[in-house]
Structure 1
Amino acid sequence: MGQTFSLGRLAGIRIGVNWSVLVILALLTLGLAEGRLPEAHPGDPGWLYWAVGLVTAAAFLLSLLAHEISHALVARRHGVEADSITLWLLGGVARLRSEAPDPRAELRIAGSGPLVSLVLGAVFAGLAALIRAAAGPGLAAEAVAWLAGINILLALFNVLPAAPLDGGRLLRAAVWRRTGDPVRATVVASAAGRVLGWSLVALGLYLVLLGAGFGGIWLVLIGWFLVAAATVEGGQARLRELLSGVSVREAMSPDPVTAPASATVEDFLESPAFRYRHSAFPVVGDDGAPAGLVTLHDARAVPAAARATTRLAEVMLPLEEIPTAAPGDPLAPL
């Protein structure tokens, strides 16, 4: 996704915003300020359309955040923690640390997002009706009505039975429950995602040929993303199947080369001991106990003039921030 900026934590979950959110914020604001709002309620000052458009677009992004937070909170209730939530160009992503433990949990986690969007749509629709009843038609009522429609549309689109959409998760839960095979369920949802993705690409190209340039290009972009994401999910499922029954012990380096935390970055990079194929090395303290992990990338990022005085302890990733596994743990979930 590229560079992401942290907005802090909400309910203990890291919230981030990718720079591409600015693109969707700008496009939504433009569409509202130059299209929807003046067409529905002409005669207001131009700056007012832009102000209302910006606030409305920002409110929609908050709706996306609520959609993703619901996934994370329901997942937590089923023992699955969320590392982070990131908003980006095509929506939001809740990164869960593990998969749902069973089909019922998968169903509830996946269904929570569209349900929240549907509820938000209903709330905004009711609010728009109240505003119209109290003050008559106006920009405020139109903006809130737009939020109602876009949230309902988001809910309906997300329940399409195709990965990586929430509907793909619902399909996966159904197939998993019927077959008892989560890998097969993922492959089925992934195949459906590729079908939907290519269909959207074809529809988008058709619209471009008809002259609907922006709308067609947007559909192509969404379709291409669905194809790519669904393909990745299917590949990961097949990889987990191949790794089934394999333990961490069978894949790890039993006697890894370690680096002392007190060593300088210069010594680390120049020592023949660290010129292996590995891109990261365990770092140990003076007592020989693991202290962290240092990557060649992080070490090389230290300016050459500072490498002789910079210790690995200053650039390593501390042990408490590194996911760990025991030798007997299964490899597939990792």
Structure 2
Amino acid sequence: MSKKPRTVFRPLDGLLLLDKPLGLSSNQALQQARHLFRAEKAGHTGSLDPLATGLLPICFGEATKIAGLLLGSRKAYETMAILGVTTDTDDADGATLLERPVPSLDDADIETALAPLRGPIRQRAPIYSALKQGGEPLYARARRGETIEAPVREVQVHQLELLEREGSHLRLHVECGSGTYVRSLVRDLGETLGCGAHVATLRRLWVDPFATPRMYTLDELRAIAERGETALDACLLPIEDGLSGYERVVLDEDGERRLGFGQTVPCGGGADGLVVAFGASGRCLGLGQRNDGRLSPQRLFRWAGQPVVGVPHSGDHA
């Protein structure tokens, strides 16, 4: 039997908006995409459970430097909740813990139960989650049968709306901030209604700043790869697309060179805070901190301070 050829990785920078398939962990999906693109370095921005599908932004190369910013972004989901059954994972992948009859409910009853779950709330994470205690994920301890006290954290739920109701099935739209577990929202909704609930399906619709994302499935990417790496690389977004929510500051050639060497440079007026620095040529240099009209480097890309040969963009090999 012939061995599968070993992947020869290459430098590659850009953002891939992957439509994660059902049944894969986020890391498994990441590794498949990484090997397909032959990217030397890759990371994702916010895990999705194997049961979940939808947008998983993947950062290649220098884009990994902005992964933390995308991780903290606002996100939107659609989920199907099933009332009457509680599971140990709070979703359909778990073992049933308790079955209870679903009371007669109307939309007003459900709205009354949803209302306390909106806004800044305190939420207990699922025991089967990637949150770490003592350096170990909770799910690892849960699988060993250990008793776990899952942490309670403050999270932000911007929207939580009932889209459709059919018997014990509730289709919900959720928009939330970083660290929010939709499984926990559904679990708590079920407890408020007195019958329990779990997530049957979950799809991530968008992540700021990608409000209307063009996502690619792994199967689509494999088909595109048959046309060559130039076609495949065209699926990537430039890194600066992930920074569109930040103010843009354009430096002259001297300012670009000095910032690239780690120096603080004048940058004109504007509010203090994190900004995106661009050179006179139009290339994105990275993130800087503006304070009193001066810009100091925070997270610069490797080409900052180097002579302009060609403006780096998605798919460029450097």
Query: Which structure shows the bigger proportion of residues in strand conformation?
Result: 2
Question: Which one scores higher on RCO, CA 8 angstroms, separation ≥ 6?
Answer: 2
Bigger Cα Rg: 1
**TM-score surpassing 0.5?**
no
